[in-house]
């Protein structure tokens, strides 16, 4: 994010499963005044049962424990204006829970829904061990304050 140039930033997963054509909907939402446009998966049919369960568990647990509510089924695929990107970069965080940081900074946010097609090439490198380690690490970042 520190090296991004321009007025808008749209991060995408490197596996390119997110549909490029959704960017046009995101731009329309931006033109209507949104500083952040979240791309929310309408369903998780292409995910394994374990992945669907762990995602559901993660969002429910986070949204129960934290005052910071995360929009469910939203990944890194989103549109952000320069002022949002600058705010995130200025935080100088070293524990990068990007979904949390991107939500925490606020700004006018809207959501566009989409269906993610199944993977057509290759296989995911994100196995159950990596998923567990990621969930464990992320859950430790948002411990309830007493």
**Closest of 114, 98, 132, 127 to residue 9, by C-alpha:** 98
Element at 58 (helix H, strand E): helix 49-65
Please give the DSSP secondary-structure letter assigned to residue 113: E
Flag whether pLDDT at 131 surpasses 60: no
Arithmetic mean of pLDDT, 17-44: 89
Yes or no: say if 119 and 17 are a contact pair by the CB < 8 Å rule.
yes
Mean pLDDT of the chain: 76
For 51-102, the pLDDT digits (tens) are: 777 777 777 777 787 777 777 778 788 899 999 889 888 887 766 666 767 7
Yes or no: say if 26 and 79 are a contact pair by the CB < 8 Å rule.
yes
Q: Where are the domains of the chain?
A: 8-141
Q: Which two tokens stand for residue 45?
A: 């049919």
For 110-125, the pLDDT digits (tens) are: 899 887 766 655 565 5
């Amino acid at each position: 994010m520190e090296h991004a140039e321009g007025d808008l930033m749209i991060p995408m997963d490197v596996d390119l499963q997110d549909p490029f054509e959704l960017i046009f909907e995101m731009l329309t939402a931006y033109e209507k005044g949104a500083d952040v446009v979240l791309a929310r998966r309408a369903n998780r049919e292409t995910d394994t049962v374990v992945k669907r369960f762990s995602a559901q568990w993660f969002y429910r647990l986070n949204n129960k424990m934290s005052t910071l509510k995360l929009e469910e089924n939203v990944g890194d695929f989103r549109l952000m204006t320069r002022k949002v990107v600058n705010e995130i970069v200025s935080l100088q965080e070293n524990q990068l829970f990007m979904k949390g940081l991107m939500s925490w900074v606020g700004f006018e946010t809207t959501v566009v829904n989409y269906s993610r097609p199944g993977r057509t090439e290759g296989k995911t490198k994100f196995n159950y061990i990596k998923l567990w380690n990621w969930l464990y690490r992320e859950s430790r970042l948002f411990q309830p304050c007493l």
